[in-house]
Each structure stands twice: as C-alpha cells, then as structure tokens.
C-alpha cells in the first residue's frame, strides 16, 4: 500500500477528526467542517476564535482583532477602497467627455512625436505619471462600464480578503505593471488607456484567493478565459500587453500576500510589492533609454 505524505493528505476537522474538509478558519487557519463553520465578514471562523479562545481549552485573553486571510484587520466597510477607485475613474471619465484633450494628456503615450524627432510628450519625455493616470482614463461608455462593473464585483471580494492597504497596493501595482508592459512592447506613438490592467490583476488575485481557501475556481477561470479570448481576438484595439502585465503582477502579489508565513508576513508582503515596483521602474528606465 502506498503511503501518502502528510502534505498531500486531505485535512480533517480539528474538532471532528472523522470529517474531511477543505475549509480553514480565517483566523487560526485550522481545518473546520460545515458543522463548525461560523460565517464571518470574510470566510468562516471556528467556534473557539468566535468565542475569543485560542486552543479550545477554556477562556483566555481575548484574541486580537479579527484578521483577513492576508493578515489585515477586518473593518466595517470592506468596499471602501473599491468605492473610492470607482469614483476616481468616473471623475476622470466626466472630465474626458467634457474635454477630449484631457484624455490625451492622461493616456499612456511612449513618445510623441515619433523618431527621428525629439519627443516632447510621453513617458520617454519625462511624463512618467502617464503610466498611472492612463489606468484611470476611459473615453467610451462601454469601456468604463465594463471595467467598473468588474471592479465592483471582483474588487469588492479581493478587498474584503486582503484588507484596504494590501488591496490598494495590488490594484495600483497591477495597473502600473500593465502600463509598463504596454510601454515596452507597443508602438511609442500609440495612445493606451483604461483600467483593464488593474482589473486583470484583480482577476488573478481572486483566482489565488479561491485556490487558497479551496473554493471552486471554475467560474472565475471561465470568466478570465473569456476575457483573454477577447483580448487576443484579431481586429480588436485591445492592449493585450496591459492585460497580461496586470494579470501577472496581480497573481504574483496575491500569492505572496496570502501564502506569506505568519511570522514573516509583513516582510514577505511588502517585499513582494517592492520587488514588483522595482521591476516596473527598471523596465521603464530601459525602455526610455531605448527611445531617447
């Protein structure tokens, strides 16, 4: 008979050893079966954590404030940052619709005019802010409608799981990563805009979170696959570079945030953000040197 290593065995409920389960308490991370699951603002908690005990042996000093799976403190409004991001996108959209030149001032442009002329506009001309502002800029109703709908549905879940600071860092770095890859691989005279890079980062983050909590990943994977098909469909004006850049960054950051060892959680999480940020800066510098 083949022996199964401990790491490959299906976990069993710590209170009912005869019951296999794929769900863990979001605070103490012990496996819990459906009978022991107590619904919380994020995931489920075990009876001991809800009662303020740590080992089930009796009352102890009340545990620290409830934490999300990434270690953030659970707050009342788990959609605050998502709401703010939606308002910012809408505000920029209104400004763009009122004056089209605003969109050109904020969109991602590598260099204009193109070589052999000396660029006076674009990232290569020192307008690095375009890497970020382009991720908040939309020109068409369908574009902002799709992105903000996705932000509300997916972003709300990711924010609740990661907490406000980690969620905002992941969103912004995913958007910057998408802009950076577009800057690297797109014709420098092409204007790119939209929050799609950040949205794809949220897609990747949600997939990581579902996998970490042993939830059904099929719905989000199907939705992601459909979006990727549209992204690479011939004849579209979609920036696949921004989508892929955001997806890779969001997936990597979410993995680091939810799999970081508890004793080194902050170091790993902030280190991952710093690493992604460093890659963005180096890639931008290299592309700028090439264009100038």
Nearest CA among 153, 147, 165, 127 for reference residue 246: 147
Sign of the Cα torsion 150, 249, 85, 239 reads negative
Euclidean distance between CA atoms 168 and 16, whole angstroms: 38
User: Residue 219, exposed/middle/buried by CB under 10 A (0-12, 13-18, 19+)?
Assistant: exposed
Q: Is 182 left (phi over 0), alpha (psi -120 to 50) or beta?
A: alpha
Q: Which residues are catalytic?
A: 196, 243
Distances (CA, A) of 48 to 17, 53, 137, 225, 254: 16, 5, 47, 40, 28
Q: Helices marked H in the chain — which ranges?
A: 47-51, 80-98, 100-106, 130-133, 141-150, 156-162, 164-185, 196-212, 218-231, 240-259, 265-291
Give the distance, in angstroms, between the CA of residue 111 and the centroid of all CA atoms in the same chain.
29
| CA-based nearest residue to 47, from 38, 35, 59 | 38
């Amino acid at each position: 008979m083949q022996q199964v290593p401990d790491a490959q065995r299906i976990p069993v409920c710590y209170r009912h050893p005869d019951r296999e389960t794929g769900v863990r308490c979001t605070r103490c991370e012990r496996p819990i079966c459906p009978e022991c699951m107590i619904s919380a603002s994020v995931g489920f908690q075990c009876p001991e954590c809800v009662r303020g005990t740590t080992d089930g042996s009796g009352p102890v000093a009340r545990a620290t404030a409830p934490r999300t799976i990434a270690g953030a403190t659970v707050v009342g409004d788990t959609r605050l940052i998502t709401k703010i991001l939606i308002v910012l996108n809408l505000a920029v959209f209104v400004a763009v619709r009122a004056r089209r030149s605003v969109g050109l001032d904020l969109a991602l442009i590598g260099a204009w005019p193109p070589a052999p002329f000396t660029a006076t506009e674009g990232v290569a001309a020192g307008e690095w802010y375009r890497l970020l502002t382009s991720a908040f800029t939309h020109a068409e109703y369908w574009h902002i409608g799709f992105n903000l709908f996705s932000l509300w549905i997916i972003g709300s879940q990711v924010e609740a799981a990661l907490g406000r600071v980690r969620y905002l860092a992941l969103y912004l770095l995913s958007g910057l990563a998408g802009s950076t890859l577009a800057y690297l691989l797109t014709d420098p005279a092409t204007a790119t805009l939209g929050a799609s890079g950040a949205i794809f980062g949220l897609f990747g983050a949600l997939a990581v979170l579902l996998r970490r909590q042993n939830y059904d990943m099929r719905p989000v994977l199907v939705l992601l696959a459909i979006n990727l098909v549209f992204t690479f469909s011939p004849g579209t004006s979609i920036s696949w570079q921004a989508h892929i850049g955001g997806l890779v960054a969001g997936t990597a950051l979410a993995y680091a945030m939810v799999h970081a060892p508890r004793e080194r959680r902050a170091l790993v999480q902030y280190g991952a953000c710093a690493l992604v940020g460093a890659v963005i800066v180096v890639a931008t510098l290299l592309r700028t040197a090439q264009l100038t």
